[in-house]
Amino acid sequence: MHLSENEGIEGKTFVVTGGLGYVGTALCFELVRRGARQVRAFDLRPESPWSHDLRRHGIRCIQGDVSKKEDVEKALQGADCVFHLASYGMSGKEMLQFGLVDKININGTCHVLDACLEHGVSRLVYVSTYNVVFGGQEIVNGNEALPYFPIDDHVDPYGRSKSIAEQLVLKHNGQPFKKKKGKLYSCAIRPAAIYGPGEERHLPRIIQLAKLGLLPFKIGEMNVKSDWVYVDNIVLAMLLASMGLLDDIPGRVGLPVAAGQAYFISDGCPVNSFEFLRPLLEGLDYDLPKLTLPVPQALFLGKLFWVFYSLMYPWLSRRWLPQPLILPAEVYKVGVTHYFSFLKAKEELGYRPLVSPQEGMAATIAYWKERKRRTLDGPTLSAWLFVVIGMSILFCAAFLPDFGPFHLCRAISLFFLRSITAIRLAFMLAVVAHIGEGVYAWQLARKCDPANARGWFWQTVVLGFFSLRYLLRRAEMKPN
């Protein structure tokens, strides 16, 4: 397919569902850059980290729910092409919200299809997932000829719902419009795990776990490989797919090249996920997992988390409930080889990655280093527990009555300090030291990290030198 860079984009109106998300935002910016007449970012959220920039570039942000037909109808009126990115349940706690996953991923897609046929939208690009064909079995250099993974065998509702939605989208390819002449042409893009500066789904969770020291092991053998795709590359693939749905290309006879087709999209460099993340974690001075957990044991652990979080279902959306360490579908993603060829996208759409994995990871590392520099840093969860529990034991032993659990605290303290007077003196000295270190941290942070000075003070009051050493390192790194 040989078309100009802006074919089918200049002067056209586009709707991007999930347009306030990471990939949706990047796509909106690129559509504007290539001369789109109007770009609408349709999203459930009224704001996102990128919404201000979207509006500044003339992109219309529309708040609405893809699972509500009337919202979708309003957003798609007068559109020439729709990129359907909105989805739910890809990872973490979202995976267990079965009803919401189906409501957004399946019902929402049905509403988008109905609105396209109702309003004469001629092109629909659906962003799918590898999981429509992958469910835990090894796949080496797979292609689009692979059958869909059996619906009832999916270990999570996300893969199942995305498979159903993709099949609906492709089945509607070629459907005539309801009120005017013309047809809807549709295709599906199946991206690998997405990364890049500002990615908000995978990397923040991984980095937070590494920061807290909660990445204790790798999963699977070192020869396990999977695909990743840089954000600019997936945006390019979506644009090429939209061009592949054009039915007015001079000299072309028959259906558009991408009509009714699915395409795997990646950087084309399958790699072990833990090795892929190694430069990022090392660049941020976080410890890498040293132990390896075989897939069967990791699956057992994932099922335990699944059961626990299922019992916590009424509170899944609450912020106080942390993300699970691992779930069964995530074990398969990192512990079982599955990578695919993008040859079909190359031959039919002209897709070639714009950004290499090395360039993409370098940009991602630079972003996270800057983000870390602007935020409060701190020790691992084990350091927090050590200091908080230790100070609590000292306080209980020094000042609370000698009964119940306080008797054990006093016994432990007396084993090391020998007398109540020594325990009380140790506790008071520790409190004074922590407060003194907190004041010093506040004064130092005002010079090297003023935006987080208050945070450094309170964290250092609680943790003492366990916190202060991170601030001292930051002060050393700050240029004069």
- What DSSP element (H or E) covers 336? none
Contact 468, 440 (CB under 8 A): yes
d(CA 24, CA 83): 9
Phi, psi of 21 (to 5 degrees): -80, 180
Q: Which two tokens stand for residue 176?
A: 């005539």
Q: Beta partners for 87? A: none
HSE (side-chain half, CA atoms, 13 Å) at 329: 23
Residue closest to 112 by CA, chosen among 154, 84, 132: 84
d(CA 233, CA 195): 10
3-class state of residue 141 by DSSP: strand
What 8-state DSSP symbol labels residue 373? H
Instruction: Tokens 């969860």: give the residue.
Output: 381
Question: What burial letters (b/e) apply to 31-61, b meaning 16+ CB within 10 Å?
Answer: bbebebebbbbbbbeeebebbeebeeeebbb
What 8-state DSSP symbol labels residue 212? T
Instruction: Tokens 């990022």: give the residue.
Output: 280
d(CA 145, CA 343): 12
Identity at 10, one-letter amino acid code: E
d(CA 357, CA 470): 31
> Is residue 263 annotated as a catalytic residue, yes or no?
no
Alpha carbon 176 to its chain centroid, in Å, reads 36
Query: Torsion over CA of 82, 88, 92 and 97, rounded to 10 degrees?
Result: -170
Question: What burial letters (b/e) apply to 322-361, b meaning 16+ CB within 10 Å?
Answer: ebbebbbbbbbbbbbbbbbbbebbeebbebebebebeebb
One DSSP character per residue, 272-305 reads -HHHHHHHHHHHTT-PPP-EEE-HHHHHHHHHHH
Which member of 22, 88, 158, 185 is catalytic?
Answer: 158
* Catalytic (active-site) positions: 158
